[in-house]
Amino acid sequence: MTSLAKGATPPPVLDVRNLRKVFGSTVVLDDLSLEVPEHSCTVLIGASGSGKSTLLRCVDLLEVVDDGVITLDGRDITDPRVDTNEVRTSIGIVFQAFNLFPHLRVIDNVTLALRRVHGVRRDEAEHRALEMLDRVGLRDRAQSRPDELSGGQQQRVAIARALVVRPRLMLFDEVTSALDPELVGEVLTLVTELKHDGMTMLLATHEMGFARQAADQVCFLDGGRVLEQGPPEQVLADPREPRTRQFLRRII
Ligand code: ADP
Ligand code: MG
């Protein structure tokens, strides 16, 4: 056990250093660095195509990075020798499209990874899944099929499915973008509650109101880099960079 010196800042859960990602001749992430401290929420903003999804996919090892290092709890997860599947068990990711298995009941969607990847017995997996469905307010829909639920409910099931394995870090990629406007609130409320529970999160969103109240840190991505970062009251209300100002004027 390492003990921290009094007053020392603990190391971040996620540390992205000088990340570079290229698709063909397009440089999508260019020397991008950011840190996500424990129990905090970092929000990525930026125009469509600025690399938010690519960054999240790199962190979840769904993309191979071209240069740079990503560390999770001090461990280099971009080292080619790491077991990708093992790393991914400590990261939860939720996408814009709910991606539930349509033929599986809600409870089976939530238990699948626990049983298949983590080797948890069925009764224990179901117990944990029901607890998590309770957490997202959907315990009474455990036996439903995804198409019997609203979009907001399906997204809450997707969040329960990501949480049930007790991830160290949660990634959210525009999780409300595919929802009807009246369903956005229930999902954002849930994400806000997770933050208050102490979950460490990195999320991409176009919901600036949500970013303002939930983010500890906002990062504006532009040209594959973090052009500006800081607390929401600075980046969103008083941005330093003309490009951030321009983006915010267009989106709000
Ligand atoms: P954002 O999520 O901010 O909208 P993305 O990360 O989806 O941005 O995309 C960033 C850039 O990378 C875009 O120009 C996009 O076309 C390109 N891109 C993303 N994924 C791929 C891929 N698999 N192959 C080629 N280009 C891609
Ligand atoms: Mg995206």
Residues lining ligand 1, Cβ inside 6 A? 23, 26, 28, 46, 48-54
Full pLDDT tens readout for the chain, 252 residues: 455 566 677 899 999 999 999 999 999 999 999 999 999 999 999 999 999 999 999 999 999 999 999 999 999 999 999 999 999 999 999 999 878 999 999 999 999 999 988 889 999 999 999 999 999 999 999 999 999 999 999 999 999 999 999 999 999 999 999 999 989 999 999 999 999 999 999 999 999 999 999 999 999 999 999 999 999 999 999 999 999 999 999 986
Residues by chain with Cβ below 5 Å of ion ligand 2: 52-53
State in Å: Cα 26 to ligand 1 middle.
9
Ligand 1 pocket mutation pick from 21, 22, 23 by most atoms within 8 angstroms of CB: 23
Q: What was the ipTM of the complex prediction?
A: 0.98
Give the pLDDT score at 1.
Answer: 46
The number of residues making up the chain comes to 252
Ligand 1, from 53, 171, 174, 202: best to mutate by most atoms within 8 Å of Cβ? 53
Sheet of 169-173: strands edge to edge? Answer: 91-94, 169-173, 201-204, 41-45, 217-222, 225-230
Encoded tokens for 202:
């990195």
Start-to-end C-alpha separation, the chain: 47
Q: pTM of the full predicted structure?
A: 0.94
d(CA 183, CA 150): 8
Q: Please, where are the H alpha helices in the chain?
A: 52-59, 84-88, 106-116, 122-135, 151-163, 181-196, 208-214, 232-235, 242-251
